Structure 1
Amino acid sequence: MDFAPSERQSQFRDRVREFIISRIRPRQDEYRRQAAAGERWKVLPLVEELKAEARSAGLWNLFMPPAGPGTPVDDFPFEFAPGGEPLGNLDYALCAEEMGRVPWAPEVFNCSAPDTGNMEVLHRYGKLAQKQAWLGPLMRGEIRSSFLMTEPDVASSDATNIRSRLVRKGDHYILSGRKWWSSGAGDPRCRVAIVMAKSNPDAERHRQQSMILLDLASPGVRVERLLPVFGYDDAPHGHAEIVLDDVRIPAENMLLGEGRGFEIAQGRLGPGRIHHCMRTIGIAEEALDAMGRRLLSRVAFGKRIADQSIWEDRVARARIDIEMCRLLCLKAADMMDRLGNKAARDEIAMIKVAAPTMALRIIDDAIQAHGGAGVSEDFGLAAAYAAVRTLRLADGPDEVHLRAIARSEFSRHSAHAAARPA
């Protein structure tokens, strides 16, 4: 078992790391000034400038898998890593961890959610016309997208509860309902959404839902409000509550076919969940760095705070937890590459629970180390806590993943018991 990254993996990780160090970190104050000036929901010139640089450097769409069987690549020019070489999940994990250390870095590389998941859906399940209309502009970084699944009136941890209706009327579908936590919908460049809605309430439980592409400029689409998370509006990205009032959608916008929403969701959420975990490890590393600097620079009761035994314990445990989570995340990514998402479902569920829980504990300790400054806007720790706390709910709450892990474990034990001789 070799734990060392390959030469290729190290090369891409180091190139992303160097770009962040040399081009993104020095301009964080400029980013904050642009974000704070004028309208909250706007395109930041700095980000667009750096996107062009990252694309020219070949650090672009690094998450995208290879073109699938039957994909007419000549008709649709995919933009992967340099030379048309996509990265696997394991390769990308190392890059995503680096991106996670600066909140706005993923967009610079065109690797931010929910666009990554939506691009993968279009890539896997979209027809050529759908790819040309939406995937091309997304991969070129010209537009942004949203994903509409969660609803305010039902327990959306069970997606079979979804009430939004999708009714076929001739060559169109009529979409009605209400969605919220529709990430990305606040961005003025957000042009398309993937919507999960109930198309056949009489079908088998997991064949009732479909996914369809929605042009957000369609009549009947209304962004009712943008939802803050612990007071942070996450502009210019944003999380919206959206009313869908008898929206007419062309039938050709259906993805894969009626009743196949859950099938698409499983294909989308596996990579999406682990991408979040990769970035979360970077957030935890950043919090640990901030904690270490603070503890070494402050004196209380006659000695550095770092020399207080309680802080030695917290820092040591933070390092242990990060290393354990990184290994689990890399294992899940490796299994996805070698065996497929389905074979790695337990590992994906485990890291989806473990990574945010680990990062929240470290961020909380870092806030404590900073004292009152930790809950201010000066060090970014409060915003990091808000963002990571959300991940214990996004892409399925902890309880759903824990239930799946436990059922898999019980199944394994039942199989072992049945195999024992009487």
Structure 2
Amino acid sequence: MTAQTTDLALEVRRFLEAEVLPLEPIFLKHGFKAVLPELERVRQKVKEKGWWLPPLQKPLGMGLGLGVFARLSEELGRSPLGHYVFNTQAPDIGNMEVLLKHGTPEQKARFLEPLAKGEVRSSFGMTEPGYPGSNPVWMNTRAVLEGDQWVINGHKWYTTGFEGSSFCIVMCITDPEQPNPYARASQIIVPTDAPGFQQVRKISVMGEEGEDWMSHSEIRLENVRVPQENLLGARGKGFAIAQERLGPGRIHHCMRWIGIAQRSLELMCAYAARRELAPGKPLGSRQAIQHLIAESQAEIHAARLMVLDAAEKVEQKGAEGARVEISLIKFFVAGVLQRVLDRAIQVHGGLGMSDDLPLSFFYRHERAARIYDGADEVHKTVVARALLKDYGLDISL
């Protein structure tokens, strides 16, 4: 990381501490919509500073490379609201990157431009309740071309941010007879107000339904019709586009998790230094607490270096060329996040369990880190099979 990158990261951290962290108590108590007006004000400040959409090319964003944005993503991840104020929240940032690379000029004008300006939000429909997310080529949602329209029928869930979104990029089978299972699916842009497109429910996750962008929905598409030109990219390339999206997306997620872990460590240290077990005997004077702090620092540092290395390889070789590195960081950093959060809550005791701090929010919402974008077990298998192949054992997936 250059000195310029470090300076930018520190400046962004100070900005978030001044503008966003004070909103967290209101958010934790009353929900996302309660702070949305203030977040829009902060978003405007981000635009004025020239920080809007760091990873997207100019003039839409700052045009930062993946490695530089990875460092910035850590800072944004320190708050549950950080990425939103920079317009780099999932799934919008992934949708923007895909539209930028694969969208037609008409699709970019209609869908990408308002999304990049922060005027609308979007969602992404891939996971289905009846099929394992670990096998993304196996799904039941179908799109049939009738004349100049796609007719879509299907059932999705864990569609993040569907509530309040203006369109959803839907993964669906368009060529069921294609011998190559990786060439059966396509991605189609579907306006959320299209007839037959309905939200079944918001899914309660760890006791919370969430609101607006911070929610997950179960959705159904019943004879939903969209124009043929809403096909995103080439027909049958849905899986390939999804893999393109997930490579950089996993870098983003991992650095966000490191930001959460780093803030959790800082909260842990501050509490251990001031909390007294008895007069003149702070919690941090106990060796057991010191070990939790040291282990957390070591794991965070290792995770950060691993992710920055993976980001460099993605920039050099593309997502497919860095497949093993991406899988390594996905399960390793998710594990570090879980362990550091658990230690931080343990050190804080009852305070850590309360919503007076963001630790319990992070713990509830980030347990999914070991599941989404590929469960730990899937990524460990990818790594092990790649290593074993060098020793003559070729196991087909």
Classify the TM-score, shorter chain: over 0.9
Alignment of 1:12-411 (within 5 A): 12-31=8-27, 35-36=30-31, 44-64=36-56, 66=57, 78-81=59-62, 86-186=63-163, 188=164, 190-203=165-178, 204-237=180-213, 238-300=215-277, 303-411=281-389
Partner of 1:340, secondary structure, is helix
In structure 2, how many angstroms separate the alpha carbons of the residues matched to 1:113 and 1:42? 20
Q: CA 1:388/1:245 → structure 2, altered by over 3 Å: closer, same or farther?
A: same
In structure 2, how many angstroms separate the alpha carbons of the residues matched to 1:230 and 1:31? 17
Partner of 2:155, secondary structure, is strand
Partner of 2:204, secondary structure, is coil
In structure 2, how many angstroms separate the alpha carbons of the residues matched to 1:221 and 1:43? 29
TM-superposed deviation, 1:375: 1.5
In structure 1, how many angstroms separate the alpha carbons of the residues matched to 2:227 and 2:302? 48
TM-superposed deviation, 1:41: 5.7
Residues 42 and 236, structure 1, Cα contact 8 Å, conserved in 2: no
Partner of 1:413, secondary structure, is coil
Give me the CA root mean square deviation: 1.8
In structure 2, how many angstroms separate the alpha carbons of the residues matched to 1:232 and 1:413? 47
Count residues with an aligned counterpart: 391
TM-superposed deviation, 1:7: 3.1
In structure 1, how many angstroms separate the alpha carbons of the residues matched to 2:210 and 2:8? 28
Give the aligned residue type for 2:126.
M
TM-superposed deviation, 1:297: 2.0
In structure 2, how many angstroms separate the alpha carbons of the residues matched to 1:369 and 1:259? 51
Give TM-score scaled by structure 1 length: 0.89
In structure 1, how many angstroms separate the alpha carbons of the residues matched to 2:28 and 2:291? 34
Give the aligned residue type for 1:221.
F
Residues 114 and 147, structure 1, Cα contact 8 Å, conserved in 2: yes
Residues 184 and 239, structure 1, Cα contact 8 Å, conserved in 2: yes
Q: CA 1:43/1:264 → structure 2, altered by over 3 Å: closer, same or farther?
A: farther
Find 2:391's aligned residue among 383, 408, 413. 413
Give the aligned residue type for 2:12.
V
Which segment is superposed worse, 261-270 or 20-29? 20-29
Residue deviations 1:45-76 (CA, integer Å, cap 9, x gap) = 10111111101110111022x48xxxxxxxxx
In structure 1, how many angstroms separate the alpha carbons of the residues matched to 2:141 and 2:327? 27
Give the aligned residue type for 1:194.
I
Partner of 2:167, secondary structure, is strand
TM-superposed deviation, 1:300: 2.5
Structure 1 vs Structure 2: percent identity of aligned residues? Answer: 36
Give TM-score scaled by structure 2 length: 0.94
Residue deviations 1:312-370 (CA, integer Å, cap 9, x gap) = 11110000000000000000111112222222111111111111110110111111111
